[in-house]
């Protein structure tokens, strides 16, 4: 491979490597900042001043007040919010007491008898802890309406889930043009006179090659041995003598 083609090839590979690292970091940040789309959250910072902190790509479909969470013996009165990616309930007296459950982690939704009477029961998947969440809504017709809305949105979500990770691929036009046929960059070289390597051999053999003081090289960004007179860094690094 010609030195100029080799340098171009190295630059292209370096640019591709940097882009892959940048792409990976961007995706990791997008994944870590979008966990509410995919994970159950208890007592999280999902509500502020009685208002849901809406996520990107999230749409609020309904907000129902006067919904009892049946996790305690007396039940806690709160607000139930339904969106296209999850449902959120929070207590009216303490918005820090809340639950956010994405449809991705919903195992089942049903209406059944409980010690509080007819209740809406939502079970989370085993991977999210297998929680059984019960809610009481009066009148019963209102609860049935909420049940139909949740089951419908859960079905729609299952057919086309929203994971919350958004990433736009860079256009290939912005990338350095790559040579897909590198074989064309190689030239056959016949070393009949053993010319390759003679420059380095002569450099090392001259005066027994005593150590020379180091000097900073701007091209490499490193400290190297002071070169002997008549030699250059490019000449020593040439694969094929010019």
CATH, residue 104: 2.30.29.30
Residue 203: CB atoms within 10 Å: 15
pTM (two decimals): 0.60
Assess contact for 123 and 132: CB atoms under 8 A. Answer: yes
Query: Following DSSP, what letter does each residue of 85-100 receive, concatenated?
Result: SEEEEEESS-TTSEEE
CA distance 101 to 54: 14
- Region 219-228 average pLDDT: 77
CA distance 178 to 9: 8
* Residue at which a domain ends, from 137, 159, 181: 159
Considering the domain architecture, whether residues 150 and 215 belong to the same structural domain is answered as no
Considering the domain architecture, whether residues 65 and 136 belong to the same structural domain is answered as yes
pLDDT tens sequence across 50-88: 999 999 999 999 999 999 999 877 789 999 999 999 999
Q: Is 14 domain-assigned?
A: no
The structure tokens listed for 114 are 């409980």
Considering the domain architecture, whether residues 70 and 153 belong to the same structural domain is answered as yes
Considering the domain architecture, whether residues 69 and 151 belong to the same structural domain is answered as yes
Considering the domain architecture, whether residues 119 and 200 belong to the same structural domain is answered as no
Considering the domain architecture, whether residues 143 and 209 belong to the same structural domain is answered as no
pLDDT tens sequence across 102-148: 999 999 999 999 888 999 999 999 999 999 999 999 999 999 999 99
Considering the domain architecture, whether residues 45 and 141 belong to the same structural domain is answered as yes
Smallest Cα–Cα separation from 29: which of 169, 163, 167, 128? 167
| Segments forming the whole domain that contains residue 208 | 189-242
- CA-based angle 146:101:41, to the nearest 5? 145
Counting the structural domains of the chain, the total is 2
Considering the domain architecture, whether residues 154 and 97 belong to the same structural domain is answered as yes
Considering the domain architecture, whether residues 134 and 235 belong to the same structural domain is answered as no
């Amino acid at each position: 491979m010609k030195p100029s083609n080799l340098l171009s090839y190295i630059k292209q590979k370096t640019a591709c490597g940097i882009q892959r690292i940048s792409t990976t970091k961007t995706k990791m940040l997008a994944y870590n900042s979008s966990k509410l789309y995919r994970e159950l959250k208890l007592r999280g910072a999902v509500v502020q001043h009685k208002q849901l902190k809406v996520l990107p790509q999230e749409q609020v479909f309904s907000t129902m007040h006067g919904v009892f969470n049946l996790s305690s013996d007396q039940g806690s009165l709160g607000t139930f919010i339904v969106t296209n990616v999850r449902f959120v309930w929070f207590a009216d007296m303490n918005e820090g007491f809340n639950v956010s459950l994405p449809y991705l982690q919903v195992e089942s939704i049903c209406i059944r008898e409980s010690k509080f009477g007819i209740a809406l029961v939502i079970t989370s998947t085993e991977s999210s802890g297998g929680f059984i969440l019960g809610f009481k809504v009066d009148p019963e017709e209102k609860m049935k309406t909420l049940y139909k809305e949740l089951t419908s949105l859960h079905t729609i979500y299952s057919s086309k889930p929203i994971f919350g990770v958004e990433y736009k691929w860079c256009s290939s036009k912005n990338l350095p043009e790559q040579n897909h046929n590198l074989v064309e960059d190689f030239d056959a070289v016949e070393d009949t006179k053993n010319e390759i390597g003679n420059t380095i051999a002569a450099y090392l053999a001259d005066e027994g090659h005593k150590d020379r003081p180091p000097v900073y090289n701007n091209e490499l960004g490193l400290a190297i041995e002071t070169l002997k007179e008549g030699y250059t860094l490019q000449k020593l690094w040439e694969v094929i003598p010019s």
